[in-house]
Amino acid sequence: MELVEKRKCCGCSACYNVCLKDAIVMKEDNEGFKYPIINDELCVNCGLCRKACPVLTVPPAVKIRKCYAAFSKNETNRLNSSSGGIFDLIARFFLGNNDYIAGACFDEKFSLNHIITNKVEDLEKLKGSKYIQSNINFLYCEIRDALPANKVMFVGTPCQVAGLKSFLGKENDNLYTVGLFCHGVPSSKIFHKYLHEMEERYKDKIHRIEFRNKEAGWSTYQVKITMGHRIYVGKNQDDNYMQLFLQDVCLRPSCERCAFKLYSQVSDLVLGDFWGIDNVYPELNDQKGISAVVVRTVKGKELMRSISKDLVLKECTLKNITDGNPGAAHSVLVDQDKRRGVFEHMEALSMDELKKKYAATSFKTRCKNELKKVWGKWGQ
């Protein structure tokens, strides 16, 4: 039995968390995305999963109150974060009060899992965008169990925030939600193929991967992989995995018609990169990372107030943000022939070959990127 049409299922796991009969498992398909599979023998047709599914019952969007360009005054923590380090500040505020945060971190096999913690030593591994879909496992149940006695701040993709809220069913005073601008999540099969080929190529073991290393600047971010004996650094436009991701040829099908984009988000606060900052506040752009912050609720305001003394903050309009970051508000347009090619040939072709065949960067784009870099240096 299929709960929702497969191409619409975002994999949020709300159905999996809500089923009292353990009749649902989240199973990876041949592209490397997890979907709920219902065991008809265990299912008692109670309807809880349909009620909790944010795709079947899309929660009403929360209105936008204020928009900002912002970054953390703590330069080290900002440089270790993907954008302006806003998540780091909010997380420290919660952990400082012995409250809980929930976010995504890799385990030793590079599976990405959402965890809940009140330990400050867990913060570093939670920080930073990981470009793969995280496993929610039974996290929504763990959050529900923690909420009566504790405040919890959840950060995740907008569909995960919607999944959590649908699972809980009603507003909870102790829950704070932070959604990310999200252009989509790539296949975990492709990601693990990439890691495997890197280990083979360099005859070394991977210990750490940073998708948004800022050593060459924030807008010219690069992938940095720390292995036992060497460090690999790949510019966005050269790295096989990043190209397949950024050219949208290995994303989850639901990301092509995302029901949870910026205008329909349900989180208290939304965070993304302020890519258009040079057209709004060029003096802020020191290439260390600027966040776009969208405040939607009273709780979102409360979160911003709690970290305001540690922030550089400038108010702006939503248009200022979306003009430089259209992907925040609109789903990606996918070249279906290329996407099909990637998944049909992912076993037979190497990552090099997949990139060359289905995600090659045009000469024009390369020139634009090089110009952007030179311009970025002059602008500093």
Cβ distance to ligand SF4 smaller for residue 13 or 77: 13
> Contact, 188 vs 126, CB < 8 A?
no
> Does position 9 bind ligand FAD by CB under 6 A?
no
> Does position 85 bind ligand FAD by CB under 6 A?
yes
Bridge partners of 293, per DSSP, are: 68, 271
Name the one range near ligand FAD by CB under 6 A: 56-64, 129-137, 219-227, 372-380: 129-137
Candidates 34, 95, 100, 130: give the one binding ligand FAD (CB under 6 A).
Answer: 130
User: How many beta carbons lie within 10 A of that of residue 259, not counting itself?
Assistant: 16
User: If 0-12 CB within 10 Å is exposed, 13-18 middle and 19+ buried, where does residue 5 land?
Assistant: exposed
Q: Which does 86 bind (CB under 5 to 8 A by kind): ligand SF4, ligand FAD, none?
A: ligand FAD
Q: Which of residues 255-314 bind ligand FAD (CB under 6 A)?
A: 271-273, 291
Q: Which does 10 bind (CB under 5 to 8 A by kind): ligand SF4, ligand FAD, none?
A: ligand SF4
Q: In whole angstroms, what is the distance from residue 335 CA to residue 373 CA?
A: 28
Candidates 11, 32, 36, 103: give the one binding ligand FAD (CB under 6 A).
Answer: 103
Q: In whole angstroms, what is the distance from residue 252 CA to residue 248 CA?
A: 9
Candidates 82, 187, 243, 322: give the one binding ligand FAD (CB under 6 A).
Answer: 82
Candidates 135, 157, 220, 222: give the one binding ligand FAD (CB under 6 A).
Answer: 157
Q: Using DSSP, state whether 222 is helix, strand or coil.
A: strand
Q: In whole angstroms, what is the distance from residue 297 CA to residue 269 CA?
A: 7
Bridge partners of 45, per DSSP, are: none
**Structure tokens that stand for 170 in this block:** 């009603």
State in angstroms the smallest separation of the CB of 326 from ligand SF4: 13
Cβ distance to ligand SF4 smaller for residue 163 or 217: 163
State in angstroms the smallest separation of the CB of 183 from ligand FAD: 3
Cβ distance to ligand SF4 smaller for residue 9 or 280: 9
> Contact, 125 vs 106, CB < 8 A?
yes
**For binding to ligand SF4 (CB under 6 A), which residues are involved?**
3-4, 9-15, 18-19, 21, 23-24, 36, 38, 43-49, 52-53, 55, 157-159, 163, 182, 184-185, 252, 254-255, 258, 260
- The residue type found at 172 is N
Candidates 14, 55, 180, 277: give the one binding ligand FAD (CB under 6 A).
Answer: 180
Cβ distance to ligand SF4 smaller for residue 128 or 217: 128
Q: In whole angstroms, what is the distance from residue 332 CA to residue 131 CA?
A: 15
Buried b (16+ CB within 10 A) or exposed e, 204-214: bebeebbbbbb
> Contact, 49 vs 3, CB < 8 A?
yes
| Angle formed by the axes of helices 351-358 and 336-345, nearest 10° | 160
The contact pattern for ligand FAD, residues 316-335, with x = CB under 6 A and - = no contact, is ---------x-xx-------
DSSP character at residue 215: T
Give the binding site for ligand FAD (CB under 6 A). Answer: 81-87, 103-104, 112, 126-132, 134, 155-157, 180-183, 185, 271-273, 291, 325, 327-328
